Every structure is written in C-alpha cells, then in structure tokens.
Amino acid sequence: MFEKILIANRGEIACRIIRTCQRLGIGTVAVHSAADAMARHVAMADEKVAIGPAPAAESYLRIDRIVEACRQTGAQAVHPGYGFLSENAELPLALAAAGIVFIGPPVEAIRAMGDKIESKRLARAAGVSTVPGTLDAIGDPTQAREIAAEIGYPVMVKASAGGGGKGMRIARSERELDEGLERARSEARSSFGDDRVFIEKFVEEPRHIEIQVLGDRHGRTLHLGERECSIQRRHQKVIEEAPSPFLDAATRSSMGAQAVELARAVGYHSAGTVEFIVDKDRHFYFLEMNTRLQVEHPVTELVTGIDLVEQMIRVAAGERLAFDQPDIRLDGWAIEARVYAEDPARGFLPSTGRLVTYIEPSGPGVRCDSGVVEGGEVSLHYDPMIAKLCVHAPDRPAAIARLAEALDNFVIQGPGHNLSFLNAVVSHPRFAKGSFTTGFIAEEYGEKFTAPALDEATELRLVALASAMRARQLARAQQISGRLPGVNLAPPTSFVAYVSRTARTVEAVERDGAFAVSIDGGPAHELVLHWRPGLPLARASIDGEMIAAGCRRLPEGFALTHRGSVVQVLVRRRRAHELALLMPEKVPADTSKMLLSPMPGMIVMVDVVEGDLVKAGQTLCVLEAMKMENVLKAERDGIIATVSIAERDTVSADQVLMTFE
C-alpha cells in the first residue's frame, strides 16, 4: 500500500479523496493554484504544493508541475479525481516515466474511451448497443446537413473530446444545426483544445442511466448497479439516484453485462462508468465511457457500502478485488443533489462571491461532500458546484422526504444558489412518481426557474413561524439596557402579517418557552421556536410537526425559504400596519430598452453595431463564464442605440451591455 498520495485536483473531490486516505492511514499532498491557497482541501492535506496562477491552464492542467510536486514531496501515487487531468492520457504516461503510480485505468483505455468517436467503434465491436449516427468527425456544415437529413431530426452535435455538457447542442432544424455546430466547436476548442464534433440521433423521451464498473489488474471486472441521471439541465446532471426507478431486473442485468463486456474489451481496471441512453421502451444505447470517478459516485457507495476511492487505491496498489458479482447487493435508496452557485431566476447562470453564511445539513442518512467553508470564495475560474448533498433511506419515498428536509436545513448566503430549485424538483409530483426524462427540467421550468406557489396550509405555517420570530425579535429589542426606572413595556402580541399580498391578523403570545399562535381569529397552535435573532436558519415545532426554513431578515419581517419557495412575510404591529397603508407604492426602474449582463464573465463576440436593425431571436453577443458560452439574443425587433462592450471585455452582473431605441 502507498504511504503518500498526491491529489491532482481541488474542491470537494479533493477533500473526499483525502478523507478516504486519512481512514486508510495514507499521507496526502494537496496541490493548489494561487486562488486556492486558503482552500479547504489545502487545509485538510498533510502537505501542500503551489502549482501556478488561478487559471486552470496555468495550474491544475500543468502535468509537468504535478510531476514536480510528486518529486518534491515523495508522493508515490496520484489520484486525479474528476475533471481537469482525470481523462488526459498524457498524465499517466508522464507519471510512469517518473516512477509514480496513476490511480486510474490503463492509458490505452483512457485513449480509446476518451474519444467519443473511437469509443463508439469499440462499443459496436464489443456487441454493445449504440445510437445511430456518424463515426467520423464532421468536416463542414454541408456535410452536417446531409448526415442530419439522413438520420432525421432532432440530432445531437457533440464534441469528440467533450464532457460535462460542454461542446454539446441539440438541433431540430438546419438553422439550429448551423449555429449549434459553430457553438459546439468553439466550446470544445476552448475547453478541450480539440474542436472535432460528430452527430448522432437524439433519442426522444430519453432517460440517462449509467452503470458503475470496477475492475482489478488480475482479470476480475464487475458492475455495481446503475445510477439514474435523467434530471439534467443543459446536459449537466442535477440530481442522481441509485437504483433507477425506471429499470426492471432484466434491463439492469443486460445493461450491466454490456458495460462489463466493454470494460473487458479495453482491458479496463479501476473504477469507471458506462453511460447509456434509454428510451421509453427500455431499449438502451451506449453513449460514452468515463474512465474516472464520477461526480455522482456517492449514491453507489451508499447503496452498496463500497468505498470507490478506496477500491481505486487498492487496485492501483496491485490488490485483488475482495468481492465478486454475486456479492454485490443494493441496500435501500440514495439520491444526490448538486448544489451550484448559480441564479435559477436568471436562467441558471453561474454566480460568484463570498460564502457569507454556509451551514450544511447533517443527521442520519445525510452525507454532504463539499470543498468550501464559510467565508470562502466561489471563484470565476472553476466549476460553480458548491457541494453534493446525498441522502440514504430504506426506500425511494423516504429518501425523497429526507432530501427535502435536508435541503430546508441547508443555508447559503452570499452568491446565488440553486437550493430552492432543487427542493422544488424533489417536491414535484412527477419526480415522486419517477415519470421523468432528460427533458424534465426544460418541460417543467423552462429556461428560468420560478418558484412554485405553496399550498395554503404550508403558507399559514410559515406565517405562524414568521410571526413568532418577529415577536421574539421585538421582545429582545425591548430588553435594551439603560431604560428609565419603572418602565416595563409589554412585548407586542398582536400583528398583521402580509404574505402573497394578503393581510392576516395574528396573535402570538409566548408562555413558558412556547408560543400560542392564532391566525385570523382561528384556533391557537402551539409553536416551539428553535431560533434566536441573527440565526440564518429557523426551526420550529408546530402542533408537534417540525418545520425548517432558511431566513433572511427584512426591515419588518423575514424572507423564508422552504420547499423550493422563497416567501416574504412582513409582520407589522397594528399601528405600523395602519401607517403603511398611507405609503405610496415604489415603481421599479424601466430596463426594457437595455441588455443587461446576466452574470459576470468575458465577452467573446459582439455581433451588432450601433444603428443595426435586429430581429427577435437574433444573436447580439456571446458571453463566456465558467467555461460555458452563453448566447444573448434580442427578445424583440428593434434598433441598436448604443453598444458599450467589445470583444474580450470583462463585465459584471447587471452591467448595461447595449441599449435599444
């Protein structure tokens, strides 16, 4: 067994690998860029080595600096995690030349499966079902149109060296194909240094289901069941679960067998994933093989009890797998939700900034893999994922309930985040039934997320919660020191609460540590409040039933986040309510003739000049942020009045990019 391992990665996956190494008694080395000098993974490791400036191309993607860091620290092996160099065949070659072990599959397998086109050829040769499409890179738009017409629209344009949703576009017409081809090539070139793309049939009503494979260096290869990854946005997974609510035993067995055959065909060892697309009739087709640890590997670990990072380390050290296929048992249900720094209300655009408040949920069956700490920075230079919230329960309904509760108890303040969106998804009836495809998010929420309305009973519970919080807040304010002798003000108990533009009368009286809360003259409810002013999470028992909500203070109330909705509850004393009725309503500024930047980023293309006549849907400019290109288009016909940007300009969120007459 190794004595010291270097982790060639950052963030949550670096922290997750370090935890397994610590349990095994293996020393760890963290590498870091200038931006990550104070990062969590650096603090957790036994040793640290600086490898360059903030941009990944000058630090985490520098193989020479990874090898040099091994030499400096005496690390005997390197775990690449996922992303960055994890599927770059040059890394294991460089490590081998330096006498260092690569914790991953053989170079030949990485090369064969890393090229989407070559991997499809090998899959067909191994008897694995594949999607209709090209096996050669597309030369020009004319050839792309001919191929698309032959296999039929819709088609998928995919980068040959792609991954993570980058360099991927769906085209339903020739016009979309031309634009998708250009954007996919551009993203592929900037992300992977390889602009080759190919075309395949886009399967309607698809589900994305993958098989976890594991092999040792002694010829034993097996699979650990499947993961359902169909809840995606723009081809990036958002929620994953194991097992799949869609597969039957026969399909699971057949998919597992084909995944194992493909792994054997390329001489695979270590952990890897074979991804399939499955249609409504459970016909499945090979998509790709990821020759690394997957982001969503925790759900497999939770249902099998097998630590995949540990197995990767043991296999790399030459050990045999201590179990075989009949030993694999799936216990219960696991679900993972990816928590991103993004703004769902702005089309899920990435967000950056300091984590002013960061509180992870915990408890039985709850696991949170993260690489951040309160006060840390979500950087523009790297992937916007903050954490992976995972739960495990005896069955799927229990796992869904546990995840919803955990999301209610997760608090993030600072950058925008998708906690409300995740909670809305897991609370959706279609998700509960398991009747969804990869188009679920687009079908239910479109390009922008609008929080669903809560039912009246839940809304009233939040009114009761906010009223008790406001009563406690005012009671505390009345305890100020320095008051005149003999002045004892009774805390207010009568309020008017505003929620969804509805005013409700509330009585909230606290006795013996519990509130008696009555709304609109109705019966009193017993509310035991676990909150004090200043805390970002409010928990309470209302008539014996627990409720949790993230809370942000407002001038006269609170913004409560619960079950995917952010509810503003203003709680005023009666006299304040009477005076508020006399106040004029503030009218928001008119931005209808402005194009505002939806997020921080860099302008990579400006397609118009002042005086241009533009049509609805026409491209105005392209903004790059966190390695993704975002096309900003005209919402309606108009004339460009001013253009305030140029190519390679760095812009901030809400900055005016251009105006219209």
- Provide the annotated active-site residues: 288
Phi/psi at 619 (5° precision) = -70, 130
In sequence order, which residues have a C-beta less than 8 Å from that of residue 570 and are 6 or more positions away?
Answer: 497, 498, 499, 554, 556, 557
Q: Could you give the 3-state DSSP secondary structure of residue 182? A: helix
3-state SS record for 88-128:
CCHHHHHHHHCCCEECCCCHHHHHHHHCHHHHHHHHHHCCC
What DSSP assignment string belongs to 327-349?
Answer: G----SEEEEEEEESEEGGGTSE
Please choose, from the candidates 212, 232, 233, the residue with its C-alpha nearest in 3D space to the C-alpha of residue 304. 212
Q: How many Cβ atoms from other residues are within 10 Å of residue 641's Cβ?
A: 13
Determine how β-strand 377-378 pairs with β-strand 353-354.
antiparallel
Quick check: 257 and 268 in contact, CB under 8 A?
no
Q: Could you give the 3-state DSSP secondary structure of residue 448? A: coil
Quick check: 367 and 337 in contact, CB under 8 A?
no
b/e code 497-511 from CB counts within 10 Å (16+ = b):
bbbeeeebebbbebe
Residue entry with tokens 């006060």: 375
The kind and range of the H/E element at 166 are strand 166-171
Please choose, from the candidates 481, 478, 506, 480, the residue with its C-alpha nearest in 3D space to the C-alpha of residue 490. 478
Between CA 405 and CA 390 the distance in angstroms is: 12
Q: How many residues does the chain have?
A: 661
